[in-house]
Amino acid sequence: MAALGEAFKQARSKGLGSGDLAQVATAAASGRVATLLIEADRQIIGRLNGTTGQVELAEPSDTRADELLDDLGELTANMGGQVMVIPADLMPVQTGLAATYRH
């Protein structure tokens, strides 16, 4: 798992990775995410447009909202990417997600 974090850091330094929710969502919708690391037990509530990748954050009480990290993981897997849920102490960033891109 440490190797995954290192691979992310190298990819990000080349512009082929991100830990930014909006950027990762857009990349996932276009099928660019090769590997998505999701922090175990982290929740980000909102809505994801699976076609455009647009995200909208929401309050936990919003009944129309969902768990964005789960939705991003499902979208990434459906687009042929690999999804890994890892402990917080092994995450290479503090945002709850880290993606490496195909191109």
Pick from 76, 82, 91, 80: which is nearest to 26 by CA? Answer: 76
Which domains does the chain show, CATH number per domain? 2-101 (3.30.1330.30)
Q: Is the pLDDT of residue 2 over 80?
A: no
Task: Please report the DSSP string for 5-56 in residue order.
Answer: HHHHHHHHHTTSEE--HHHHHHHHHTT-EEEEEEETT---EEEE-TTT--EE
- Average pLDDT of the residues of the chain: 95
Specify the pLDDT at position 71.
97
Taking only the tens place, the pLDDT of each residue in 5-55 is 889 999 999 999 999 999 999 999 999 999 999 999 999 999 999 999 999
